[in-house]
Amino acid sequence: MKFCRFCGKQLGDDEVCDCEESKKAAENAQTEGAETGTDSNAVIDNEKDSVTLDVSGVVEKAKSHKDLLIKIGCGVAVVILLLILKSLFSASYKTPINNIVSAINKGKKADYLTLYNAGLPKNLAKLNKEFYTTLYEDSLEDKNDDISDAFEELKDKYPKFKIKFDIDSKEKLTKTELSEFKDELEEGDLEDLDDTIDEIEDEIDDKAEDLADMLDVSESDLKKVLKDYIKYLKSFKKIKITAGYKVRGQYILKNGGDEINKTDKVTMYIVKMNGNWVILSTKNGEKFRFDSEKKSYDRVRFLHDYINIFYENAAAPSLF
């Protein structure tokens, strides 16, 4: 492929450009030919006054780059797809259990709210945080100090302390069983939901100022917490339980590879309620209890309180 070296016009194999610069170059070539005795009818040397470009390499590179861009695009698409699939399938009946285990394994870095909220649905966890940090900040500080001291004692004795939940068995709940759980909530914990909401609204109207003074907080902060609590309660007016499992298992505590204690095996019911996987209850109100005969018991007994918090109808709208 050739181009005029003066104006850049693309030329055919035997074509001569007709731009002014090319014409002048042709005239100069004829003059030089006359002076040197060459043929006066000589014309411009196309090889000198045109530029031949080999674009084959450029084309190949372009194709190569195109292929690379396609590969990159496909790679990005795969990553996005994997992220979407992860978001869809990462949450499972194990989610609240894993959250509890993760919170406990933070050890001294764990605070009261991290532990208390670990097995709860996000909206209740958020409300708990607002409740304690706004209305009971001093109490929260004391609880955090107690937890920190307990974990420090535990870590001093067992530096490689870790806890895990060992699932002995799981059984998928039937639609009938899921419906029964829904009915139990609506006819039990949530039966007087409207009355509870009315009572809190009355408190906001009639007693907010006195309550704020008693708690030593601003009236506006108190009202905000109570209104958020009402909003949370109203979210339970429509309950959807779409999946669930009956799970039996126990917590096992280890220091490195050595088992130092474990709880009794307990059966619990984990359901997907209003889009969140929650531990709804344990069978017959069972509690996880550590083996008090083991030497480690005096170091791990404080975990009784925090572990069992998650198994007492943790998803039901109870805050105060």
Task: Flag whether 226 is in a domain.
Answer: no
- Residue 158 lies inside a defined structural domain of this protein: yes
Query: How does residue 7 score in pLDDT terms, banded at 50, 70 and 90?
Result: low
What is the pLDDT, as a whole number, of residue 160? 93
Q: First vs last Cα of the chain: how many Å apart?
A: 84
253 forms beta bridges with: 163, 261
Query: Tell me: the pLDDT tens digits for 130-165?
Result: 888 888 888 888 888 888 888 899 989 999 999 999
* Stretch among 77-91, 122-136, 221-235 having the lowest mean pLDDT: 77-91
40 with 166, same domain: the answer is no
pLDDT band at 53 (very low <50, low <70, confident <90, very high): very low
Same domain assignment for residues 126 and 248: yes
Are residue 41 and residue 104 in the same domain, yes or no?
Answer: no
Any domain includes 224: no
Q: d(Cα 152, Cα 20) in Å, to the nearest integer?
A: 91
Instruction: Say if 83 falls within a structural domain.
Output: no
Mean pLDDT of 209-225: 87
Placement of tokens 């030329």 in the chain: 11
Q: Are strands 266-273 and 161-172 parallel, antiparallel or unpaired?
A: unpaired
Contacts of 27 (CB under 8 A, 6+ apart): none
Number of domains in the chain: 2
Note the pLDDT of residue 200.
81
Rounded Cα–Cα distance for residues 293 and 302 (Å): 15
Domain identity same for 272 and 148: yes
Q: Within this chain, do residues 42 and 183 fall inside the same structural domain, yes or no?
A: no
The residue segments making up the domain with residue 16 are: 2-52
Is residue 207 included in any domain, yes or no? no
Q: Are 165 and 251 in contact (CB under 8 A)?
A: yes
Distance of CA 111 to the CA centre of its chain: 21
**In this structure, are 30 and 107 located in the same domain?**
no
Q: Of the residues 37, 52, 67, which one is the last residue of a structural domain?
A: 52
What is the reported pLDDT for 291?
93
Share the mean pLDDT of the chain.
76
20 and 166 housed in the same domain: no
Within a domain: 222: no
Three-class secondary structure of residue 260 per DSSP: strand
Window from 18-32, 37-51, 193-207, 226-240 with minimum mean pLDDT: 37-51
140 and 32 share one domain: no
Residues 6+ apart with CB under 8 A from 174: none
What are the structure tokens assigned to 228, written together?
A: 């958020």
Q: What is the mean pLDDT of residues 162-188?
A: 89
Structural domain includes residue 259: yes
